């Protein structure tokens, strides 16, 4: 009994630093975001006025906020769908097929993920350059005349962000899927072969159901990381321009802080928090299946 | 078990509070014993960081007041967090118009110390008063007296004439003359178009502020400028306003079409490159452009030229906007009196000389010119030409849009007035829509105007 008590104390002592740090640096600031969203104040001003839900009321009449949310949702949907499909396809090919230079492809696909977003923005700045950029040069080569697509101008700017974000994200999710695919027993595929199932049937009937738990986890990752990465990409590539056309929710929130509307930007923060939380919960609920065992 | 856990948690939190608190206590005791140390936070801009080191050293040598200097390219990130925690530097050198808008926030929140009495202070080490040294007009604008009550809250620093920059070599080669009216400008635009050169480009829409201010002055003089920058009711329906909008909208059709795609903080130098490559004739800019593009490739025979904004009609006034930075004292500063002495010292002959000999990180001369009488006479090279713009007939335009209390969803002056120029160029917005948006926003700005 005495021994057990000492063990308990030891556990508490070991856990305390982490719990305290987590509380001070994670829980407290998050609660503070909710509190400050009810006030009107500047970032450096010591005075604050309680305004209740006024900040939230203003949000729904703010056309710029609505546009930034639309852009965020567009990115979440398109980037998730395309990255998800391509990452699964590449992972399937690299684990199931015997390819020459398999390791080379694994490395190449993963490299974008270890680059910093600023570096990626620099690379894509060169790719998207209107004059003699990589994309426009290739297009001109095939068109036979000079093509000048303005990748970072109004109609194309979101597409340009989407391409860069997919390019960056594929490697990471590919590796996640490859890890779980390689743990699917070989014998299942062998018996499926004997039953006459083709490769595509095997992929949909065996591989997909068996890595379902993993896919569900990555869907949550997709939502959270797209919201966060979109901010970095927008900041580093377009600064929200031209004329706010590529503004996303987090970059708009950041800009409002600089405009002296700290409480308002916290209200945007609350909206993004609730949005990503609810969306993740919904996706989790919709994709719930009985887990399959090997 | 639960009790023990909560006890430990409470103990750790109490300890962390003690640890945080003791730091404040220490500085309190040193204050009373040692000679005063003021903290100066200055933006490291195109003029480099060395000048600030030299000026603060010279100040300490003159007055015995020690200076703890913070100089950084991202000054807002360095001092922002501690200011949110209530610790303010004693003097801040940071201009309005930066993306983070820190100075604007201090103006809007009325967190600045009144510096009017600095003007009647004697410059440390000299016999003249500060007001006798600062050139006329600099302490009478809304950039220094933001609340329109005749009190100076921000002290004018480094000034630079802004205007349209061009390749003077190309004009000589083609035998073109620099237009003096907008009609001549459009004529030149058509001539250049025939040769595959666009008339105009701009680095980012932010550069339109100086352009718009000078344009408003040249169209309607100081009276119209004051009405417009104070969002006076009906001002946007006047013929003067219509002329301004028409000129900018027409200029948008003469702008190199790839400009908006590069008009962001990452690619704006590529727009500046268009002028160096003879793909656009004019761009609005400031004298720092020479140092900024010093290493960029350029067309053969390239030579910097700078002109004031063309006049609206023949014989009319042409204006060049005087852009200047500001130094200020937060109202939360601990050593206000010493801070004011430092501000006064910034206008001493010694400080002006140090600033005028500024070099950037690459070692190129980038003179920072204080708004002090007689300083610009000693300049050499391109800068002599730039700073003599007012001697050659151009009038000086100063001031900016009046400060207003931030309102959710309203947007900043840049977002309302300037950013839409991108959309005018790429055709996603018409001139009428732009004007309508300005009218709606301007009414709200008027309702929340400060001072």
Helices (H), B129-175: 130-133, 168-174
Taking CA–CA distances from A66, the nearest residue in chain B reads B409
One fold for both B30-160+323-378 and B161-322+399-447?
yes
CB proximity B101 to A under 8 Å: yes
Q: Which two tokens stand for residue B394?
A: 């151009």
Flag if A59 and B4 touch (Cβ within 8 Å): no
DSSP per residue, B33-54: HSPPEEEEEEE--TT-SHHHHH
Model confidence pLDDT, tens digit, residues A192-245: 999 999 989 999 999 999 999 999 999 999 999 999 999 999 999 999 989 999
Q: Which CATH class for the B161-322+399-447 domain?
A: alpha beta
Q: Please tell me the predicted confidence (pLDDT) of residue B215.
A: 96
Flag if B262 and A130 touch (Cβ within 8 Å): yes
Task: Go through B328-360 and write b for each residue having 16 or more CB atoms within 10 A of its CB, e for each that does not.
Answer: bbbbbbbbbebbbbbbbbbbbbbbbebbbebeb
Q: Please tell me the predicted confidence (pLDDT) of residue B8.
A: 58
Give the closest-approach CA distance of B65 to chain A in angstroms.
27
Flag if A12 and B83 touch (Cβ within 8 Å): no
Q: Please tell me the predicted confidence (pLDDT) of residue B422.
A: 95
Q: Could you tell me which of B162, B166, B164, B142 has the C-alpha nearest to residue B153?
A: B142
What CA–CA distance (Å, rounded) separates A7 from A267? 45
Domain boundaries, chain A: 58-286
Q: Could you tell me which of B178, B114, B121, B204 has the C-alpha nearest to residue B152?
A: B114
Q: Say which of B109, B407, B421 has its CB closest to residue A42.
A: B109
> Cβ of B62: how many Cβ atoms within 10 Å?
17
What CA–CA distance (Å, rounded) separates B311 from B215? 9
Flag if B9 and A244 touch (Cβ within 8 Å): no
A·B CB contacts under 8 A: 142
Q: Which CATH class for the A58-286 domain?
A: mainly alpha
How open is the CA angle B297-B303-B305, to the nearest 5 degrees?
Answer: 125
Q: Please tell me the predicted confidence (pLDDT) of residue A1.
A: 52
Mutation target to probe the B interface, by most B beta carbons within 10 A, among A44, A47, A132, A154 is A44
Q: Say which of B4, B80, B411 has its CB closest to residue A12.
A: B4
Spatial contact of A260 and A43, defined as CB atoms under 8 Å apart: yes
Low-confidence ranges of chain B (pLDDT < 50): 17-33
Helices (H), B110-207: 130-133, 168-174, 182-194
Neighbour-count burial of B103, counting CB atoms closer than 10 A to its CB (0-12 exposed, 13-18 middle, 19+ buried): buried
Mutation target to probe the A interface, by most A beta carbons within 10 A, among B261, B409, B424 is B261
Flag if A150 and B257 touch (Cβ within 8 Å): yes
What CA–CA distance (Å, rounded) separates B86 from B286? 35
Flag if A259 and B86 touch (Cβ within 8 Å): no
Looking at the predicted structure, is the pLDDT value of residue A104 above 50? yes
Neighbour-count burial of B157, counting CB atoms closer than 10 A to its CB (0-12 exposed, 13-18 middle, 19+ buried): buried
The 8-class DSSP code of residue A204 comes to I
CATH number of B30-160+323-378: 3.40.190.10
What CA–CA distance (Å, rounded) separates A39 from A62? 18
Q: What residues of chain A lie within 8 A of the CB of B86, using their CB? A: 46
Give the closest-approach CA distance of B203 to chain A in angstroms.
12
What CA–CA distance (Å, rounded) separates B194 from B174? 13
Flag if A152 and B262 touch (Cβ within 8 Å): yes
Q: What residues of chain A lie within 8 A of the CB of B1, using their CB? A: 8, 12
This prediction has a pTM of: 0.86
Taking CA–CA distances from A121, the nearest residue in chain B reads B266
Average pLDDT on A106-113 reads 91
What CA–CA distance (Å, rounded) separates A4 from A78? 54
- Label the pairing between strands B91-93 and B37-43: parallel
What CA–CA distance (Å, rounded) separates A104 from A127? 23
Helices (H), A144-210: 157-181, 186-194, 199-202, 208-210
Spatial contact of B236 and B442, defined as CB atoms under 8 Å apart: yes
Q: Say which of A43, A55, A128 has its CB closest to residue B105.
A: A43
The backbone region for B37, taken as left when phi is positive above 0, alpha when psi lies in -120 to 50, beta otherwise, is beta
What CA–CA distance (Å, rounded) separates B115 from B125? 20
Helix or strand or coil: residue B129?
Answer: strand
Contacts of A155 (CB under 8 A, 6+ apart): B428
Q: Say which of A16, A44, A259 has its CB closest to residue B83.
A: A44
Q: Please tell me the predicted confidence (pLDDT) of residue B19.
A: 47
> Cβ of B122: how many Cβ atoms within 10 Å?
13
Taking CA–CA distances from A55, the nearest residue in chain B reads B408
Taking CA–CA distances from B424, the nearest residue in chain A reads A243
CA A89 and chain centroid, separation? 19
Average pLDDT on A157-184 reads 95
Neighbour-count burial of B174, counting CB atoms closer than 10 A to its CB (0-12 exposed, 13-18 middle, 19+ buried): middle
Dihedral angle at the C-alpha atoms of A112, A117, A118, A120, nearest 10 degrees? 30
Q: Which two tokens stand for residue A185?
A: 């027993």
Spatial contact of B108 and B101, defined as CB atoms under 8 Å apart: no
Task: Tell the residue number behind the tokens 């600033």, with chain if given.
Answer: B355
Q: Is the ipTM of this complex over 0.90?
A: no
Mean pLDDT, rounded, of chain A:
92
How many residues would you count in chain B? 451
- Tell which B residues from 414 to 433 touch A, by Cβ distance under 8 Å: 415, 419-423, 426, 428-429
Rounded to the nearest 10 degrees, the angle between the axes of helix A212-237 and helix A249-258 is: 40
Give the closest-approach CA distance of B83 to chain A in angstroms.
6
Taking CA–CA distances from B13, the nearest residue in chain A reads A20
């Amino acid at each position: 009994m005495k021994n057990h008590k000492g063990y308990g104390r030891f556990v508490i002592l070991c856990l305390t630093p982490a719990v305290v740090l987590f509380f001070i640096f994670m829980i407290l600031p998050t609660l503070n975001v909710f509190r400050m969203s009810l006030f009107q104040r500047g970032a450096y001003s010591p005075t604050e006025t309680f305004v209740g839900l006024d900040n939230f009321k203003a949000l729904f009449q703010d056309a710029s906020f609505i546009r930034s949310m639309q852009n965020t949702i567009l990115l979440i949907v398109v980037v998730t769908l395309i990255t998800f499909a391509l990452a699964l396809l590449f992972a399937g090919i690299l684990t199931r097929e015997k390819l020459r230079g398999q390791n080379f492809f694994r490395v190449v696909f993963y490299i974008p993920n270890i680059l910093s977003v600023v570096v990626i923005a620099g690379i894509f700045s060169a790719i998207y350059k209107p004059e003699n950029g990589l994309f426009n040069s290739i297009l001109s080569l095939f068109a036979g005349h000079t093509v000048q697509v303005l990748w970072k101008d109004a109609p194309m700017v979101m597409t340009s962000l989407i391409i860069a974000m997919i390019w960056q994200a594929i490697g990471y999710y590919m590796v996640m899927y490859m890890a779980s695919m390689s743990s699917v027993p070989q014998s299942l595929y062998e018996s499926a072969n004997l039953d006459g199932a083709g490769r595509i049937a095997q992929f949909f009937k065996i591989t997909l159901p068996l890595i379902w738990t993993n896919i569900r986890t990555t869907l949550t990752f997709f939502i959270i990381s797209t919201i966060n990465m979109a901010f970095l990409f927008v900041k580093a590539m377009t600064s929200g321009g031209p004329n706010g056309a590529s503004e996303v929710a987090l970059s708009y929130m950041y800009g409002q802080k600089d405009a002296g509307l700290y409480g308002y930007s916290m209200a945007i923060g609350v909206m993004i928090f609730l949005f990503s939380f609810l969306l993740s919960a919904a996706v989790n609920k919709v994709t719930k299946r009985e887990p399959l065992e090997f | 078990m639960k009790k023990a856990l909560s006890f430990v948690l409470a103990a750790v939190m109490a300890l962390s509070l003690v640890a945080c608190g003791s730091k404040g206590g220490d500085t309190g005791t040193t204050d009373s014993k040692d000679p005063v140390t003021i903290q100066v936070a200055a933006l490291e801009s195109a003029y480099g960081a060395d000048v600030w080191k030299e000026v603060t050293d010279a100040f300490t040598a003159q007055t015995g007041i020690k200076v703890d200097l913070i100089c950084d390219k991202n000054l807002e990130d360095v001092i922002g967090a501690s200011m949110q925690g209530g610790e303010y530097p004693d003097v801040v050198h940071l201009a309005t118009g930066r993306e983070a808008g820190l100075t604007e926030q201090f103006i809007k929140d009325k967190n600045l110390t009144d510096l009017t009495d600095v003007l009647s202070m004697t410059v440390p080490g000299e016999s003249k008063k500060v007001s006798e040294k600062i050139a006329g007009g600099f302490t009478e604008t809304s950039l220094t007296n933001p609340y329109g009550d005749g009190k100076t809250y921000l002290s004018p620093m480094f000034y630079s004439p802004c205007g349209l920059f061009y390749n003077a070599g190309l004009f000589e080669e083609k035998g073109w003359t620099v237009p003096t009216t907008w009609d001549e400008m459009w004529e030149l635009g058509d001539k250049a178009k025939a040769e595959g050169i666009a008339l105009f480009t701009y680095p980012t829409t932010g550069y339109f502020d100086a352009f718009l201010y000078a344009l408003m002055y040249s169209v309607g003089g100081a009276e119209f400028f004051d009405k417009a920058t104070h969002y006076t009711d009906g001002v946007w329906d006047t013929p003067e306003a219509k002329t301004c909008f028409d000129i900018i909208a027409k200029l948008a059709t003469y702008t190199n079409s790839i400009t908006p795609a590069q008009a962001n903080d990452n690619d704006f130098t590529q727009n500046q490159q268009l002028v160096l490559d003879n793909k656009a004739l004019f761009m609005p800019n400031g004298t720092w452009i020479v140092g900024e593009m010093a290493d960029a490739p350029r067309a053969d025979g390239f030579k910097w030229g700078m002109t004031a904004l063309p006049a609206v009609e023949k014989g009319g006034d042409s204006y060049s906007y005087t852009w200047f930075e500001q130094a200020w004292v937060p109202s939360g500063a601990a050593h206000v009196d010493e801070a004011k002495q430092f501000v006064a010292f910034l206008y001493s002959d010694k400080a002006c000389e140090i600033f005028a000999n500024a070099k950037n990180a690459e070692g190129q001369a980038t003179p920072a010119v204080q708004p002090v009488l007689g300083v610009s006479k000693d300049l050499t090279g391109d800068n002599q030409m730039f700073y003599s713009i007012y001697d050659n007939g151009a009038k000086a335009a100063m001031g900016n849009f009046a400060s207003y209390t931030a309102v959710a969803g309203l947007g900043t002056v840049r977002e309302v007035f300037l950013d839409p120029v991108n959309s005018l160029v790429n055709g996603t917005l018409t001139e009428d829509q732009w004007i309508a948006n300005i009218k709606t926003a301007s009414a709200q700005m008027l309702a929340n105007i400060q001072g």
